Chain A
Amino acid sequence: MIRGLTVLVTDDEPMIVTMLAEMLRSAGHPVIEAVGAQEAVRVLQKRHVDAIVTDRDLLGVTGLLAAVKRPVPERRAAVVFLSSYADRENPAPNVLQKPFQMKELQRKVADALAGRCG
């Protein structure tokens, strides 16, 4: 059941975090909001999440990705990157080019979760 899986949303801008979170909640996901990579890492240390939505250029994203690499691979969160520079013609599976439509975000997260579950 992909819809009930938890998604962590992080960005440097609180309002972007809130907006993305609302969009994913409307798709049926429980969402944890984190402003900045440090807060996101703190969340990951305390809770299990199934997917992470983050800006690829987020300050501290490297540390965040390191935190994602848990010792148990099957519990590793799927990561969806938001980027201004993604290639729309040959899109990477886990990268979403900005600006995107709400349904594209929801689909990308669903695909990432499906890949993780599959």
Chain B
Amino acid sequence: MRNQLSGLWSRFKKPQPNLVESTLVGNAVPAVSETENQIPVLLALARQSDIDAMRAMFQDTPYVAVPANGIDHACKVAGHIMFPVVVYDPFLDPAERQTGFRRMVGAWRAPSMVLVCDSDARSDEASQRMGAFSIVCRPLERKTLISVLHSAYLHWKSQPSAAEPFSPSVPVTSACRRSSTR
């Protein structure tokens, strides 16, 4: 897992003048040194516990959690604010499990989508087929989450134009811990 993430990281590692800290330090959490360098992350998540956990994990990082309470809400927000990274739970709206992801991607201009799912093979595979940038599985781990967000943000930054249609240029990676029982 560590090798997989560091490989992904090195793939996008390049000077990022607007990024607070372009190297992962210590426990792989980017440090914050300037308050103006804040990266908003839209949390389109079904569970309040996930939102609360991520808010806590974003402490002392450049990431600012902005929760949305539904796909309609998220898509409406997209008309106002650009989010480099959207964290999306396919179960945000069960009725839109198949269409929700595309709606979200279509609403924004080229966001990097990170999916949150339970760590079982079926939902993991289904999420990968959607074409997300990456996947994080419950139980959420701060180090993993922040590393994935960092890569997702750099991916977004590396895109030639925010107006380009979304097309993942890297293979989707999963940051899920594999259960030994599977």
Binding site for B on A (CB under 8 A): 13, 15-16, 19-20, 22-23, 26-28, 82, 84, 98-103, 105-107
- Taking a contact as CB atoms under 8 Å apart, the answer to whether A99 and B35 are in contact is no
CB <8 Å contact, A26 and B64: yes
For residue A13, which residue of chain B has the nearest CB?
B76
Contact for B81 among A27, A102, A107, CB less than 8 A: A102
7 nearest CB pairs, A to B: A102-B40, A99-B82, A101-B82, A98-B80, A26-B64, A15-B73, A99-B81
- Which B residues, 84 to 111, have Cβ-Cβ distances below 8 Å to chain A? 84, 108-109
Interface CB pairs A-B, < 8 A, 7:
A16-B76, A16-B80, A82-B80, A98-B80, A99-B78, A99-B81, A103-B18
Name the one of B18, B77, B108 contacting A19, with C-beta atoms under 8 angstroms.
B77
Chain A residues, CB < 8 A from B164: none
The yes or no answer to B66 lying at the interface (CB within 8 A) is: yes
**Are B76 and A15 neighbours in the complex by a CB distance under 8 Å?**
yes
Complex CA gap A103/B83 in Å reads: 11
CA distance A103 to B157 in the complex (A): 14
> Does the CB pair B38–A100 fall under 8 Å?
no
Complex alpha-carbon distance, A43 and B121, angstroms: 53
- Residues in A with CB closer than 8 Å to B39 are 102
- Please report the C-alpha to C-alpha distance between residue A22 and residue B73 in the assembled complex, in whole angstroms: 16
Count of chain B residues with a beta carbon within 8 Å of a chain A beta carbon: 22
Neighbour of B38 across the interface among A15, A16, A20, A102, CB < 8 A: A102
Q: B79 within 8 Å of A by Cβ?
A: yes
Chain B residues close to A by CB (< 8 Å): 18, 35-40, 64, 66, 68-69, 73, 76-82, 84, 108-109
Give min CB distance, A9 to chain B, whole Å: 12
Give min CB distance, B54 to chain A, whole Å. 14
In contact, B64 and A15 (Cβ under 8 angstroms): no
Are A102 and B64 neighbours in the complex by a CB distance under 8 Å? yes
CB distance from B161 to the nearest CB of A (A): 12
Interface centre among A15, A22, A98, A103 (most CB of B within 10 A): A15
A82 CB contacts on chain B under 8 angstroms: 80
On chain B, the residues within 8 Å of A98 by CB distance are 79-81
Kindly state the separation between the CA atoms of A27 and B36 in the bound complex, as whole angstroms.
7
Contacts of A106 in B (CB 8 A): 36, 38
- A103 near B80 (CB under 8 angstroms)? no
Partner of B77, one of A15, A84, A101: A15
Q: Is the CB of B38 within 8 A of A19?
A: no
Q: When the two chains form their complex, are residues B77 and A23 in contact, meaning their CB atoms are under 8 A apart?
A: no
- Inter-chain CA distance A95–B18, complex, in Å, is 23
Residue of A nearest to B40 (CB): A102
In the assembled complex, the Cα of A82 lies from the Cα of B18 at a distance in Å of: 23
